[in-house]
A = this chain, B = another copy of it.
Amino acid sequence: MIKPDIVFVAKLAGVSPATVSRVMNHPDLVHPATRKKVELAVEKSGYIRNRAAQAMHGRRSATIGLVVPTVANTIFAEVVQAFNDTVSAQGFTLLLASHGYDLDSEYRLVRKLLEHRVDALAVVGLDHSAGTFRLIAEQRVPLLALWNYLADSALPCVGVDNREAGRLAAEHLVALGHRRIGMVFPATFDNDRARDRKTAATAVFRAAGIELQERWQVEVPYSIAQAKAACLDLLAGEDRPSALLCANDVIAQGAIYAAARLGIAVPASLSVIGIGDFAGSAQMEPALTTVRIPAQQVGIAAGQAIVTAIGRPDADFMIRSRVELELIMRASTGIAAEMIRP
């Protein structure tokens, strides 16, 4: 009752191990009749081929490593899912790692993934430690940046232009006549997505001659609870902004709940815009105006890109694929009150 290996199956089928191997990997090279025999033997013995041994031989490990900040946050769950579905359909298995927005621990995770000889690596964002990059370069593993797009990125990337996302959101608020604007963002230190959105939005406001009040800028992590708490503070007094630009929809949802709790009418007295268009944003009341990031599309496109890259180990792997953003106007933003009165 020992676990059957390839030679056991070979004996059972009355062929050589080589033939069994071929049946598994290049079925067209073996005679249909022998193939049948082997398949029967595989079936009968309950043989499960050993990818480790296969990988050891220098062949594909049939795994792809994916490193995300976290999967607990709606932000990435959807993209992870789409990415996984895509590569899985091509026979790859996903090795998942998450670092909680800590680029140091990312290094260790990448190392671990490389130990498993992943055929390729996908990471979120373009910012990574020098050590991480060196490691990956040394191992000559295709690397793809997910989620971000940058026309002149050093890395292959599939994603959206976060500066454009910030710009679209900001322009929408400006177009509605808002000038008293608050921004709710996470720390931008280890997070290039948030940083890009914020600087682009700020630039738009500057250009429109809007002065951002320090007291209306707050920093919270991507958490509904903390976003709501922070916004309760921010919106408490009389002196509050007329519009809130939120780093993503999770924060925006928190902001809207805070307004609801305080009895502030959205959008009549306060406009709220998010970025992302996560599950639920369209359904909440009032429905959230946001900049849609098609997470699914990103995941699928990234999955395809990376599988292609694995298929051509010789060629340098470079692709820059931009997924389009779209401003989705819903019910959480409206014309600034100041614009209506006169």
Contact = CB atoms under 8 A, between A and B. Distances in A.
Interface in A40-93: 46, 48-53, 55-56, 61-63, 70-74, 77-78, 80-82, 84-85, 88, 93
Contacts of A138: 3, 46
A268 interface: no
A11 interface: no
Interface stretch (A171-179, A278-286, A334-342): A278-286
A114 B81 contact: no
A96 B77 CA distance: 12
Contacts of A206: none
A228 B283 contact: yes
A55 B56 CA distance: 9
Contacts of A96: 80, 84, 93-96
Contacts of A198: none
The size class of the interface chain A forms with chain B is: 35 or more
Contact of A93 (B3, B70, B95, B224): B95
Contacts of A55: 52
Contacts of A71: 71, 77, 80-81, 84
A128 interface: no
B48 A52 contact: no
A46 to B, nearest CB: 5
A98 B3 CA distance: 27
A163 interface: no
Nearest to A137: B46
Contacts of A88: 97-98, 109
Nearest to A254: B283
Contacts of A139: 3, 48
A249 to B, nearest CB: 11
B285 A260 contact: yes
A149 interface: no
Contacts of A254: 283
Interface of A: 3, 46, 48-53, 55-56, 61-63, 70-74, 77-78, 80-82, 84-85, 88, 93-98, 109, 111-117, 135, 138-140, 223-225, 228, 253-254, 257, 260-261, 279-280, 282-285
22 contacts: A48-B114, A52-B52, A52-B56, A52-B116, A56-B56, A63-B95, A71-B77, A71-B80, A72-B77, A72-B78, A72-B279, A74-B74, A74-B279, A84-B96, A84-B98, A93-B96, A93-B112, A94-B96, A94-B97, A95-B96, A225-B279, A257-B284
